[in-house]
Amino acid sequence: MPSRSRLEDLLRSNRFWLVDVIPSSTFPFFVLGAPFMGFQSITMPEISLEVDEVKQVNSMYKRYVYSGGSMGAITLTRGARVYDDTFYQWIQRCIRGLDMNPRNLLLIQYSDINLTMFSGASIELPVPMKAWEVAQFIPGRAWLLWDCIPTRYKAGSDLEGTSGEVSIMELDIQPHAMVEFCMFTAEQARTFMAIDAARKDVVL
């Protein structure tokens, strides 16, 4: 029975990264602590379309037409640390007018395909952080978030004297628009699966 290619595996929700596409020309060059700090969770980009009803004289049914669209807010969460105030600093700079240029951010969802699948060798990364470790995998999908601005900041989880849970910071960002990328076309996927199957046959 032929083995199944890893390219056919469904994407998981636990490998992701969010980075600035173009660093700012002024300090801080990157927002949100990139590239050294990751996130506990990021809500997926969402597009909502506005629909108007058009009542036709010659039909008993209404017709619906698009009149516009909008992007939903994206919530970032991260465990609070004694040295991490990147969420607060970004929104504070925007309030004071020191960082009014919207940021273009790239959200990447990685596949389970490791970059070392052909060589079998491990990759030694210069900084042993989780954000770098996840980058050893091939991206599956990505979203370019245009003109992002922060809209809400929560400093951490609500304080509770009987709780021992980690405090989680929250930041809402509002993108203007987005573009979605799939990292493989259908033809590229078929080629990759053929190479992967041939490699497994050689190993076997």
> Which amino acid belongs to residue 31?
V
As a whole number, mean pLDDT of residues 78-87 equals 91
> Chain centroid to CA 167: how far?
22
191-198: Cβ within 8 A, 24+ apart? 192/5, 192/7, 193/5, 193/7, 193/8, 196/5, 196/6, 196/7, 196/117, 197/2, 197/3, 197/5
Query: Where does the pLDDT of residue 41 fall: very low under 50, low under 70, confident under 90, or very high at 90 and above?
Result: very high
Query: Is pTM beyond 0.75 here?
Result: yes
**In Å, what is the CA distance from 196 to each residue of 3, 4, 40, 48, 116?**
10, 9, 32, 38, 13
Average pLDDT over residues 17-25: 77
3-state secondary structure of 67: strand
What is the pLDDT, as a whole number, of residue 197?
Answer: 63
Q: Give the percent of the chain with pLDDT over 90.
A: 36
pLDDT tens sequence across 45-55: 999 999 999 98
Residue showing tokens 């504070």 = 92
Q: What is the pLDDT of residue 1?
A: 43
pLDDT tens, 102-136? 889 999 988 877 766 544 445 454 444 455 555 57
What is the DSSP-derived secondary structure letter of residue 164? -
Which domains are present in the chain?
6-42+49-203 (2.30.110)
More confident call, 21 vs 88: 88
Q: What is the mean pLDDT of the chain?
A: 79
